[in-house]
Each structure stands twice: as C-alpha cells, then as structure tokens.
Amino acid sequence: MDLLEYQGKQFFATYDLPVSDGEAATSVDGAVAAAERLGTPVMIKAQVHTGGRGKAGGVKFAADIDAVRAHADDILGLNIKGHIVKHLWIEKASDIAEEYYASFTLDRSAKTHLGMLSASGGIEIETVAEQNPDAIAKIWVNPIDGLTENQCRQWVLAAKLNPTVTEQVVELLLKLYRAYTEGDASLVEINPLIVTPAGKIHVLDAKVTLDDNAGFRQNLAPYDATQPRDEREAAAHEKGLEYVGLEGSVGVIANGAGLAMSTVDVVNQVGGRSANFLDIGGGADADVMAGALEVINNDPEVRSIFINIFGGITRGDEVANGIIEAMNRVDIKAPIVIRLDGTNAVVGWALLEPHLSDRLQSEPTMLEAAQLAVELAGSTPT
C-alpha cells in the first residue's frame, strides 16, 4: 500500500520525525484556506502515486494567497504520468542549505533490512547508484538484533554528511527505523532530507509503502480511499478480492497468488493476454466465486474466462458447487473454461459435468485450458 506524500509525512510525524506543518486539500478554496491558516509562503504540491511531480508542474512555490489560488487551480486535475491530481498538500516553505537521502527497505536476497544514506539528496537514488555508487552508504540490519546507536553513527560517518548534523541524523535514522519496523512498512524513504540554514535537519519529502497484510494490527483505513484503483479494481476491493487489472481479453480466476501468476504467464505463453490477475484464495464458496465472476463479467474487454483451481485445503467439490451456484446468480457474457485438480477433483468434475456446454467447458491440464481460453477469446464476437 503506497501512501501519498502527505500521508507519509503524517505517518512519520507519529514517530516524532521532523516534518513541516501542512494541510491536505481537494479544492482551490480548500488550498487557499489551508494557506491562510499556515501563513505564506507555502509550497503547493500535487499528491499522486508517482514521481516526477516537479518536472510535470505539480510542485509550485507560492509567495502569497493569489499565487496559492493560481497554482492550486493549475495543479488540480493535472495529468502526471497517467495519474490525475485530486489531492494537494499545502506546506510551509522551507529554506534549504543541504540535501541528503535516507531510506530503509527489505533486502530479500540477504533476508535483512537495508538502510541507504547519501549526501546526494534531491536526486533519484537509481541515478545516484548508476552514476556514483560510492555516494551511497549502506547498512544491513538483522531484524532480530535491530539498529543500534553505535551502528547508526558509523553509518552516518561513512555517508560523509556534514559533521555538524551527525547527532541529529543519528537520532532521525533511529526514529525512521522504528517507523519502518513498528509501522509494518516495506519502504520508508526521505528524499530530500534537508539541512536548513539554521543547521536543523528536516523531512522535506516522504515515500512510504506499508504492508497491507498487517491490517490486523495497523489502522490502514485512512489510506485505503486514496489507493489508485480503476473501476474493476475498486469493485473487486469492495468484495474482498485480490485483483489487479491488466489489458488483455482472457479473464483469470485462480486460488492462490502463485497459481494466479502462473496462470497469467501460461495465457501469455500460448499467445493470449490476460485481462486481470484474480486470486480468490482458499474456500472458493459460491459467494466468493460469484463475486469473482461478477467483477470479470463487468469488464467489457473480457472475451473468455479461465478458472484455474488446484485443490489443496480447498476441496474440488466445494469449488464445483461454487461455480454452479455462481453461474445461476451471474449472467455470464463470456464462455468459461475450467481446469480443476487436487483434493476431491473427481467429485468436482462429476458435479460440473451436467452443466458443461459451449458456454462452460473443461480441460484436464492448465496448458490445454489456457489454449482453449485463448482460442475462445479470439473467436468470441466483440
């Protein structure tokens, strides 16, 4: 779950990181009112889930209220790399003496947390890594041991930051690591982390990705409404389905993320393109299956549906009953191809057999089912 900048700063503030005063707004009048409360000068910043806002005209300095109104009017509705600006962040302007970079993320290959710190802030870290990799000081933190103050100080010294702010940066990085771990984040990034002319460090930008699997212990509800979803993804989200919209014509339903990804790959392998990734998880009862079929059925680009189920904990007879009942509840427009294997698959096939037709077909293997689904997608009228 990627947060908008202002949400990231609000998240950081709960861990006592130094962020600027600011307010979110969704209208020009709201932006003006926020600026009046904060006092000018302020920055008007587009809030979208992508980078390159400044180059696209989505970040503006406003010296007075007239400038606030003009910039807010220009930025709202701006298209930045396919993202339409609906939210603004109005923030007290900051004077900058130096810019740094700081982040924590997960190094999956090393199975540890990775911290990166650089005196080259304000630049995309990928660019720094490519052009001057020695400018990035890295630290690997064992999740069990955590980050100590001494490790952090050595890390800061290795990054060759201004020595006058060493202790401030050490304190900030310890708080940032706490936000990263206690907040169930997979990424926390500050770019730039600035030093003001008065010698104070300050968080000028925030990029935060939270693990939405931690929703049982974190309050993720405030961030949910601003997640970028198309109509299909929004409908699936309301039904509690794990769905990602794609651009093909074969609708995909599978149980388990791994099988769903493999199904998308196999559809591509046999010359088709998947319209979606949809993982119904375990159980696959009638309500879940009906919800999945309804979401895919409402996608006008879908010309066939491939249901690929491997029963482990999930039983084939439960899946079959779910498909049968779901088809009675949803008026399916596209033909369906089913591949069912695993626990109680034989019983499931026996239940499905009386319902097989040109609109509901079956194949014994994933490859054969994918081939048929792609063939049907190509022959079904638009």
CATH number where 295 lies: 3.40.50.261
What CATH number should be reported for the domain holding residue 155? 3.30.470.20
For residues 26 and 158, state if they share a domain: no
For residues 120 and 216, state if they share a domain: yes
Supply the pLDDT for residue 311.
79
16 falls within a domain? no
6 falls within a domain? no
Residue ranges of the chain with pLDDT lower than 70? 229-231, 235-236, 283-285, 379-382
Measured CA to CA, the distance from residue 323 to residue 319 in angstroms comes to: 6
For residues 196 and 284, state if they share a domain: no
How far are the Cα atoms of 27, 214, 305 from residue 115, in angstroms, in the given order? 37, 21, 44
* 57 backbone φψ class: left, alpha, beta (φ>0; ψ -120 to 50): left
For residues 181 and 48, state if they share a domain: no
The 3-state DSSP class for residue 38 equals helix
Give the total number of structural domains in the chain.
3
160 falls within a domain? yes
Measured CA to CA, the distance from residue 104 to residue 175 in angstroms comes to: 11
Supply the pLDDT for residue 167.
97
What single-letter DSSP state applies at residue 64? S
Supply the pLDDT for residue 164.
97
Supply the pLDDT for residue 382.
43
Supply the pLDDT for residue 112.
96
For residues 83 and 151, state if they share a domain: no
Q: How many residues does the chain have?
A: 382
For residues 373 and 237, state if they share a domain: yes
How far are the Cα atoms of 21, 201, 214, 287, 365 from residue 259, in angstroms, in the given order? 46, 47, 23, 21, 13
Last residue of a domain, one of 223, 257, 282: 223
- Mind telling me the catalytic residues? 101, 189
What single-letter DSSP state applies at residue 149? H
For residues 214 and 251, state if they share a domain: no
Work out the angle between the directed axes of helices 316-329 and 345-352 (0-180°, nearest 10).
30
43 falls within a domain? yes
For residues 258 and 368, state if they share a domain: yes
- The 10s digit of each residue's pLDDT in 172-224 is 999 999 999 999 999 999 999 999 999 999 999 999 999 988 888 998 888 87
What CATH number should be reported for the domain holding residue 87? 3.30.1490.20
For residues 264 and 308, state if they share a domain: yes
Supply the pLDDT for residue 224.
74
For residues 257 and 343, state if they share a domain: yes
- Sign, CA dihedral 98-104-108-111, equals positive
5 falls within a domain? no
12 falls within a domain? no
Which stretches of the chain are assigned E, i.e. beta strand? 22-25, 42-47, 59-62, 79-80, 83-84, 87-92, 98-107, 112-118, 136-141, 185-195, 201-203, 207-210, 242-245, 250-254, 276-279, 304-311, 336-342, 360-362
Last residue of a domain, one of 223, 254, 289: 223
For residues 216 and 143, state if they share a domain: yes
Report the candidate in 131, 140, 99, 141 with the shortest Cα–Cα distance to residue 118: 99
Place of tokens 């969704």: 26
- The 10s digit of each residue's pLDDT in 306-358 is 999 987 777 888 888 888 888 888 888 899 999 999 888 999 999 999 999 99
Measured CA to CA, the distance from residue 304 to residue 306 in angstroms comes to: 7
Q: Beta strands 250-254 and 304-311: pairing type?
A: parallel
| Domain membership of residue 49 as a residue range | 21-92
307 falls within a domain? yes
For residues 367 and 251, state if they share a domain: yes
Last residue of a domain, one of 92, 110, 136: 92
Asked if residues 3 and 11 have their Cβ atoms less than 8 Å apart, the reply is yes
14 falls within a domain? no
Report the candidate in 17, 24, 55 with the shortest Cα–Cα distance to residue 42: 24
Supply the pLDDT for residue 313.
75
Residues 6+ apart with CB under 8 A from 240: 291
